[in-house]
Amino acid sequence: MSTLTDPRTALQAPQVDHGPAGTRVGSGTLDPRLMLRSLPDAVRKLDPRVMVKSPVMFVVLIGSVLTTVLAALEPGDWFGWAITGWLWLTTLFANLAEAVAEGRGRAQAETLRRARTDTVARRVTGSGSGFGEERVAGTELRIGDLVVCEAGDTVPGDGDVVEGVASVDESAITGESAPVIRESGGDRSAVTGGTKVLSDRVVIRITTKPGETFIDRMIGLVEGAARQRTPNDIALNILLASLTIVFLLAVVSLQPFAVYAGAEQSMIVLTALLVCLIPTTIGALLSAIGIAGMDRLVQRNVLAMSGRAVEAAGDVSTLLLDKTGTITLGNRQAAAFVPVAGVSEAELAGAARLSSLADETPEGRSIVALADERHGPYGPEARADGAEWIAFTARTRMSGVDLDDRRVRKGAARSVTTWVRSRGGEVPGDAGEIADRIAAAGGTPLLVAVEDAHGTRVLGVVHLKDVVKEGMRERFGELRRMGIRTVMITGDNPLTARAVAEEAGVDDFLAEATPEDKMALIKREQAGGRLVAMTGDGTNDAPALAQADVGVAMNTGTSAAKEAGNMVDLDSDPTKLIEIVRIGKQLLITRGALTTFSIANDVAKYFAIIPAMFAVAYPSLDRLNIMRLASPESAILSAVVFNALIIVVLVPLALKGVRYRPAGADAMLRRNLGLYGLGGLIAPFIGIKLLDLLISLIPGIG
Amino acid sequence: MSPFLAGLLQLLALVAALGLAYRPLGDHMARVYTSTRHLRAERWIYRAIGADPSAEMRWPAYLRAVLAFSFVGVLLLYALQRAQGLLPGSLGFASIDPDQAFNTAASFVTNTNWQSYAGEQAMGHLVQTGGLAVQNFVSAAVGMAVAVALVRGFARTRTGELGNFWTDLVRGTVRVLLPISVAGALALVACGAVQNFSGIHGVGQFLGTTQQWNGGAVASQEAIKELGTNGGGYFNANSAHPFENPTPLSNLFQIFLILLIPTALTRTFGRMTGSLKQGYALLATMAVIWTGFTALMLWTESAHRGAAFEIAGGAMEGKETRFGIAGSALFAVATTLTSTGAVNSFHSSYTGFGGGITMLGMQLGEIAPGGVGSGLYGMLIMAVIAVFIAGLMVGRTPEYLGKKIGIREIKLAACYLLVTPALVLGLTAVAMALPTPRESMANAGPHGFSEILYAYTSAANNNGSAFAGLAADTPWFNTTLGIAMLLGRFLPIVLVLALAGSLAEQRSVPATNGTLSTHKPLFSGVLLATILIVTGLTYFPALALGPLAEGLAS
């Protein structure tokens, strides 16, 4: 058992990286071959019943069909065929974007599916004296069934361990090869179907129906089958649909105006104009952006039960973080040796070290480590052979060691002073002062006393303190710039809590927190209109996880916690909440940026197409041809080709998400407006001009 | 003095006057719409109409009251015109035909004031003063009430209540429009506008013929015509008529009245939502559009192209010499960027670009600064759209003034965006496709097309100005323009009140460092770009075939 790694400590190493590369939410690479492989899927998505879900692209599809018919009626017209071809490509590129996004998820689903091989379950029958076992297929298990798993068995379904303790290999779902402990009772009882029991025997109560297990849901999520549209996604779609209708009106009403002007337009040209004006770029990439956003979470081993939760993550304004394990390393550590007057620090350190040599608690180990670091190395004479170890008990509140020539004690101030006095020793006045000072600073004072030939006396105080993880202060500063307030939750007294809070740089703290306090805090924040995110793993966290807008349950947690939260972190790393917030924001920014880009594109397209359509009837309108495009045909074709190609060009951006650096809203808006607003205004002027130069080189055009 | 210098000086005087009035009037209106006290005169009115002035209304109730009041207004005004011949004070004019009476009733109730009649040849004192002038007040008060309801939607949290329509209507009329109109009318009389109930006079002409003149309560109607962004003139020549607008000073004063309430309402908005800066941001966007349009108009109208222009010092056709290029250009931009539609010169005679500027001003939705009330709510809708797009770019669900712009909000705002383009482009297309409406055009080519495009643009946006030349008093135009005015007024109001209701129900999201700040110049810029690209681009093809084709040719 001692070889097992507790996942909490294994994964709590701070995963902070500075530097520009680290602050960017990373992304999977886009393999060009994936585009090719997704082509059949893209064609399959041309089904109108599928396309109708995206109103913008549905209009393009109708336009493609219409121009095909018109081109077929006049087969000799190369222009009609060229427009038709590029309209179909526009539709296809949109589907390709979605197919590529889904394809990446599918590869992950494949890996998961391998874990879901059909298992045979050993179901417990009867109870008491009639206790027995029967072998049934994993798919026949129902909620409440009890199954037995022994070393080598695959867990047949999700459930809670109700009896025994076992080490479990969860690499199938977490990718983490170190096994974890699962035991009945407490917060580490949940097991996931498809994982493997490595040692011992446990009885598991099944808590999900077959087909709805964690792995099934995970597969559904990454494949996008259970993908729901998120509120912002729907709202954006409504805006895009209304813009499409506006431009449809503008184009449909144009024909009577054109007829009056003596420049009746062909349906092919009108369709081309319409497709160029409606926001096809964002319409084509919208669903890929959503799928890729979920995918980015999955790549970080976070499962979001709904897209809504991912979006809510971007809106979070209050983050509740547990102190222990999230903000601090989890245990108090020796930070300093403070001797009383007349004692050297080395003497105090030596005594403290001696008393801690057999102390296997993290505090004890940290005292030895600090003494070695400051005053080491210690020779063999510092070994305590044949010593009698005095273990810490709740009653004595101190521990120590008895050697032949001396006794050392360390512990709570009151206990140690009582011990010294009972042995006739003196407690110097500054010992109490030092202890109080340390306590006031939020640390824990440990008094060290010795009894030897010189009598019984206090040597000094060991300053134990919570060690804040490296880089946390920077992270909280980053969050503050993003407008997110962090609240530290701890069971410590307010004094200690304040000290840790100040050191870590959190905005607020909740000391001596009970689950009820936590719940009340969440409700209070929400009543003020703030969205709250938190992590949790215990059953008593479940109500708060359910109440929070973003509740990330640790995979090591109980199934109650996992049910209550709307995300599960397979790595059980509470600091990942920060990452989740970033991904949520990046998802929204990508949508907004591409929408802006798409709308800004229209200006250039007007300047390409309107003169091309009407310069014959009103020669003065040729002055609007500021790009000096070669001919009306090549101008219209260039605009249509640009419109199609820009989708392909932006697919990687849609999948990776736009570059995101934590910053205030104003700085972020200025940057994105410059890049995607101004860029969207200028890029098509250049692109269309270049395409026109190319197209006009083709003999017979221009 | 060059037209540019004249324009600049008048512009500065105007900005200074508006700046002086901005604070007191904006704050006064905020008090008017938030006060809990009723004046005695107001109590009498509430008792007379049977309204409970302190009952809070949710949006459907508020909307029902707006629609019922306006419907009754249309009926009364229609009946009054139809019975004119039978009633006293008709100056001997006959009753109005059904289609024209419908058109005029719809026009005045919707704050449009499109006139397919010539005032001095059709409407007597009773209809002018007892019907049209009354609607000049109340239709403006309705617009302000709807705007205030939307502002309350932003300001209030976790309630569906938007205030009381009757209180807002009565207070807007009694405490804002009436007092300023009285002062305005006196000022106009001082400038030389007429105010009497005189009959028709025959005035001898040089060539021996006689011309008929009549007086009337002109100055008082002028004041509310401009103040309430109505625009319906007492006389056919509107503010070009010397009885209505006698001097350059009265001209500048009329422009001041047009812009007064719409600009000050941005302060009222800031006051009521608790952040004056939010109001300034909207005002900044309005001001940039307004000054931009004015500068362009001054440039295109004074640019000397061709011998006739050079002799006249600019495009003087259709403009009064007493106002000149500057006074006319300022007026034309102000009247089309608000829902006024009063004219002191003939937009049809402007240069091609000049005509285009007046059209585009209306097509932007008349939000810079827009009609009384309608300008503010139109701008707020655009702000919602801008916030939605820009808000996503800062990585949060978009919020405006602490309210989330979610599915329902964007649905309502998006529908609002659809209404006027659908009416303008749809009806213009039908008119151009049919043979009969085209017979009303006075010109061929792009200018003829502009006449019809202008008419529907003006009607659907509730402006009321006309591109002279179109013979609009036909059953086709009276009916379709009437429908455009009614739908163009009340569909947006339905959507605005629904939006107000949905906003008022929300709780307020506190602003953080991660919230898009909507009170800074950056946001004013985003709003400007959204307005120009989202609404402006819709009309680009149509404008290209009308004013642009004409303007680029010269």
Distance of residue A561 Cα from the nearest chain B Cα, in angstroms:
27
| A246 to B411: CB separation less than 8 angstroms, yes or no | no
Of B422, B508, B533, nearest to A249 by CB-CB distance is: B422
Distance of residue B55 Cα from the nearest chain A Cα, in angstroms:
27
**Chain A residues close to B508, C-beta within 8 Å:** 529
Are the beta carbons of B352 and B344 closer than 8 angstroms?
Answer: no
Which of B202, B298, B278, B260 lies closest to B2, judged by CA? B298
Interface test with B, best of A507, A669, A676 (most B CBs within 10 A): A669
Of B389, B394, B421, nearest to A595 by CB-CB distance is: B389
Which of B386, B430, B335 lies closest to B523, judged by CA? B386
Are the beta carbons of A447 and A431 closer than 8 angstroms?
Answer: yes
Apex B409 CA angle, B405 and B410, nearest 5: 85
| B449 to A245: CB separation less than 8 angstroms, yes or no | no
Distance of residue A366 Cα from the nearest chain B Cα, in angstroms:
40
Task: Copy the structure tokens of residue B234.
Answer: 């007492």
Distance of residue A222 Cα from the nearest chain B Cα, in angstroms:
23
**Chain A residues close to B409, C-beta within 8 Å:** 235
Count Cβ atoms within 10 A of the Cβ of residue A122 and give its class: 0-12 exposed, 13-18 middle, 19 or more buried. middle
* Bridge partners, residue A613, by sequence: none
pLDDT value at residue A24: 35
Q: What CA dihedral angle connects A409, A413, A414 and A420, to 10 degrees?
A: 40
Distance of CA B321 to the CA centre of its chain: 26
pLDDT value at residue A453: 82
| B510 to A311: CB separation less than 8 angstroms, yes or no | no
| A588 to B537: CB separation less than 8 angstroms, yes or no | no
User: Which is more confident, B32 or A389?
Assistant: B32
| A261 to B540: CB separation less than 8 angstroms, yes or no | no
**How far, in Å, CA of B385 to CA of B527, rounded?**
9
Task: Copy the structure tokens of residue B494.
Answer: 């339905």
By CA distance, what is B553's nearest residue in A?
A620
Of A235, A481, A602, nearest to B537 by CB-CB distance is: A602
Are the beta carbons of A612 and A632 closer than 8 angstroms?
Answer: yes
Least confident span in A498-507, B49-58, B268-277, B366-375: A498-507
Which of B63, B184, B77, B56 lies closest to B135, judged by CA? B77
Of B396, B520, B542, nearest to A257 by CB-CB distance is: B542
| B393 to A584: CB separation less than 8 angstroms, yes or no | no
**How far, in Å, CA of A398 to CA of A394, rounded?**
8
**How far, in Å, CA of A466 to CA of A487, rounded?**
17
By CA distance, what is A676's nearest residue in B?
B393
Q: What is the mean pLDDT of residues B203-216?
A: 80
CB-defined contacts A:B, below 8 A: 215
* Bridge partners, residue A553, by sequence: A536, A568
Residue type, A116: R
Interface test with A, best of B156, B392, B424, B491 (most A CBs within 10 A): B392
Share of chain B above pLDDT 90, in %: 75
Interface test with A, best of B157, B385, B396 (most A CBs within 10 A): B396
A386 secondary structure, DSSP code:
T
| A254 to B542: CB separation less than 8 angstroms, yes or no | yes
Task: Copy the structure tokens of residue A605.
Answer: 């397209």
| A602 to B407: CB separation less than 8 angstroms, yes or no | no
**How far, in Å, CA of A225 to CA of A246, rounded?**
32
Which of A457, A464, A459 lies closest to A492, judged by CA? A464
Number of domains, chain B: 1
**How far, in Å, CA of A43 to CA of A307, rounded?**
26
By CA distance, what is B450's nearest residue in A?
A257
Distance of residue A644 Cα from the nearest chain B Cα, in angstroms:
21
Least confident span in A237-241, A497-501, B74-78: A497-501
Where residue A467 falls among pLDDT bands split at 50, 70, 90? confident
Distance of residue B328 Cα from the nearest chain A Cα, in angstroms:
27
By CA distance, what is A279's nearest residue in B?
B534
Apex A576 CA angle, A571 and A579, nearest 5: 135
**Chain B residues close to A591, C-beta within 8 Å:** 392
Q: What is the mean pLDDT of residues B22-43?
A: 96
- This complex has an ipTM of 0.94
Are the beta carbons of B342 and B114 closer than 8 angstroms?
Answer: no
Task: Copy the structure tokens of residue B260.
Answer: 């007064």
Where residue A175 falls among pLDDT bands split at 50, 70, 90? low
Task: Copy the structure tokens of residue B293.
Answer: 């349009």
Angle between helices A576-614 and A280-299 (to 10 degrees): 160
Number of helices and strands in chain A (H, E): 27, 22
| A253 to B425: CB separation less than 8 angstroms, yes or no | yes
**How far, in Å, CA of A654 to CA of A221, rounded?**
19
Task: Copy the structure tokens of residue A669.
Answer: 């808006």
**How far, in Å, CA of B169 to CA of B22, rounded?**
22
Whether the pLDDT of residue B250 is over 60: the answer is: yes
Whether the pLDDT of residue A11 is over 50: the answer is: no
| B522 to A480: CB separation less than 8 angstroms, yes or no | no
Distant-in-sequence, close-in-space partners of A77: CB < 8 Å, separation ≥ 6: A71
| B552 to A624: CB separation less than 8 angstroms, yes or no | yes
Count the alpha carbons within 13 Å of A129 in the hemisphere toward its beta carbon.
Answer: 0
* Bridge partners, residue A488, by sequence: A321, A509
**Chain B residues close to A261, C-beta within 8 Å:** 446, 449, 545, 549
A692 catalytically annotated:
no
pLDDT value at residue A50: 86
- List alpha helices for B217-322, DSSP H: 218-227, 248-273, 276-302, 307-312
Read out DSSP for B78-143? HHHHHTGGGSSS-TTPPPPPHHHHHHHHHHHHTT----SS-HHHH--HIIIIIIIHHHHHHHHHHH
Distance of residue B512 Cα from the nearest chain A Cα, in angstroms:
5
Instruction: Please report which helix (H) or strand (E) contains residue B204, including its range.
Output: strand B200-204
Are the beta carbons of B530 and A595 closer than 8 angstroms?
Answer: no
Count Cβ neighbours within 10 Å for each residue of A538-560 and write b for 16 or more, e otherwise. Answer: bbbbbbbbbbbbbbbbbbbbbbb
Of A527, A591, A669, nearest to B390 by CB-CB distance is: A669
A132-141 pLDDT tens trace: 788 888 778 8
Least confident span in A488-502, A515-529, B484-498: A488-502
| B549 to A620: CB separation less than 8 angstroms, yes or no | yes
Of B418, B512, B548, nearest to A242 by CB-CB distance is: B418
**Chain B residues close to A273, C-beta within 8 Å:** 541
Residue type, A70: L
Strand order in the sheet with A165-169: A180-183, A165-169, A196-199
Residue type, B167: T
A570-622 pLDDT tens trace: 887 777 888 898 898 999 999 999 999 999 999 999 999 999 999 999 999 99
Distance of residue B147 Cα from the nearest chain A Cα, in angstroms:
23
Whether the pLDDT of residue A14 is over 70: the answer is: no
Count the alpha carbons within 13 Å of B509 in the hemisphere toward its beta carbon.
Answer: 26
Which of B365, B390, B389 lies closest to B495, judged by CA? B365
The Cα diameter of chain A in Å comes to 118
| A253 to B429: CB separation less than 8 angstroms, yes or no | yes
By CA distance, what is A253's nearest residue in B?
B429
**How far, in Å, CA of A619 to CA of B552, rounded?**
9
| Domain containing residue B70 | 3-553
Q: What is the mean pLDDT of residues A498-523?
A: 88
Count the alpha carbons within 13 Å of A48 in the hemisphere toward its beta carbon.
Answer: 7
Cα distances (angstroms) measured from residue A359 to each of A385, A391, A410, B307, B409 = 15, 8, 11, 106, 63
pLDDT value at residue A556: 74
Strand order in the sheet with A318-322: A302-304, A567-569, A550-554, A532-536, A318-322, A485-489, A508-510
| A669 to B446: CB separation less than 8 angstroms, yes or no | no
Q: What is the mean pLDDT of residues A442-462?
A: 86
Report the Cα–Cα distance between both ends of chain B, in Å, rounded.
Answer: 25
**Chain A residues close to B542, C-beta within 8 Å:** 250, 253-254, 257
Q: What is the mean pLDDT of residues B19-45?
A: 96
By CA distance, what is A581's nearest residue in B?
B395
Among A322, A359, A466, A549, which one carries the catalytic annotation? A322
Where residue A2 falls among pLDDT bands split at 50, 70, 90? very low
Count Cβ atoms within 10 A of the Cβ of residue B236 and give its class: 0-12 exposed, 13-18 middle, 19 or more buried. middle
| A664 to B513: CB separation less than 8 angstroms, yes or no | yes
Which of B142, B254, B152 lies closest to B506, judged by CA? B152
Task: Copy the structure tokens of residue A255.
Answer: 């024909």
pLDDT value at residue A382: 63
By CA distance, what is A315's nearest residue in B?
B396
Least confident span in A460-469, A677-686, B203-212, B277-286: B203-212
| Global confidence as pTM | 0.87
